Structure 1
């Protein structure tokens, strides 16, 4: 089982991973709040040569579901560019949030837009790495907050080979029970390619995306360990930096 964390030091991601004893790390290839184009990482060869596996998280403003052309079109371009940058680092995937639309009336269009992302890229040879769609915590018109919404999305993107990233904080805050969550999501998507194993600062169904360390969060740490144990996928912690080493230690103790 490969366990690790999101990198807080993008200048030396492998050094960060080695310090934690991680088997997998997650990193950005651009400032996550920007529309910047990825640039070659100065430690590319070290990253590719390391036994630590890498996955890339896309920038946060991407919303390929949007019906607003000024957001959707640059989002599509950003996904393609960041997927190529991920491939250049030897990463096994690019995590992309499910996104949202502005009203219930636009939900069907949002799902269609996700399908178009894959269809249009197929004409260009496909994405350089698998796209792993992540469930989200909030938003009444989100593509991937509730599992029934994810099922509708998967009716379109599943045929294109989309991967799935399960975030435990997002599921909990989004109103989805974590007991049996692995079986429930696999029944919809047929797969879990990555787990973001995070506790939540807020209560169940709060709609708030605020991660917490295991000891301080509102999710039973034993339940988080069970998700880790049963998912059959690499696990990345995105918990606050000051407690991530303790979170990893807890998992190693409870999974041994």
Structure 2
């Protein structure tokens, strides 16, 4: 008998061809795809996607990843304020595509003395948007790989953050490369995170080019990385959440094939 978690699990990948995301997903046999709604290195305002109707009509689930420069924790107004606006705008664009959420990195501050302010700034993101009716899709906070003053690198920091934002319905995205590079063991990682946040809404299942606790965010295919592929499969098997691969495109099909073989 197939476990309930496997029945709920949908496996796919981050889209490398934004012009035809569903076609890319179908080519891979993906059940879920992740995409950007803007150039991830820009502050551009999202524009309507030319294939929005096709994306919404497809049986492939969709999640949107926010642009990389967003840092809602920052104590710098010139970064924090546009970050808040970008989260709201990209969440609306995600809703227009029928996405189930918007993934946002935890961000960072400049010193230990600012960490509490960073947590407060995360809470203010939700408080201020709640006054406007809330976000158009759930905000899914992702753990990060590096930074001495990161909001979501170490699990004790995630715990402090969750005390501030968990009651707003924030989701959580577990990135295996980020956890590994950030110095968090992957054995038992699903239970540990669920013990902190009470949930995992998405998994970014990636191996790492670098060693444990390197602080380097460099994804690798399963056969080339430093993380045991069987451990990655175990995270996939136990998380009970959609799984998106962000591994290099050259070996992504092989990574998906490995998962399907080891989860069957």
Paired position in structure 2 for 1:185: 193
TM-score, length-scaled by structure 1: 1.00
Paired position in structure 2 for 1:232: 240
Secondary structure of the corresponding residue to residue 19 of structure 1: helix
Paired position in structure 1 for 2:130: 122
CA distance in 1, matches of 2:71, 2:79: 7
Pairwise CA RMSD of aligned residues? 0.2
The unaligned stretches of length 5 or more in structure 2 are 1-8
CA distance in 1, matches of 2:131, 2:71: 21
Moved >3 Å (runs of 4+):
none
Of 74, 94, 99, which aligns to 1:86? 94
Paired position in structure 2 for 1:98: 106
The unaligned stretches of length 5 or more in structure 1 are none
CA distance in 1, matches of 2:40, 2:19: 14
TM superposition shift of 1:220: 0.1
CA distance in 1, matches of 2:121, 2:114: 10
TM superposition shift of 1:207: 0.1
Paired position in structure 2 for 1:21: 29
Paired position in structure 1 for 2:3: none
CA distance in 2, matches of 1:21, 1:187: 33
TM-score, length-scaled by structure 2: 0.97
Secondary structure of the corresponding residue to residue 162 of structure 2: helix
Secondary structure of the corresponding residue to residue 212 of structure 2: coil
TM superposition shift of 1:195: 0.1
CA distance in 2, matches of 1:88, 1:216: 37
TM superposition shift of 1:48: 0.2
The reply on whether 1:8 has 2:16 as its aligned counterpart is yes
TM superposition shift of 1:169: 0.0
Paired position in structure 1 for 2:141: 133
CA distance in 2, matches of 1:93, 1:87: 8
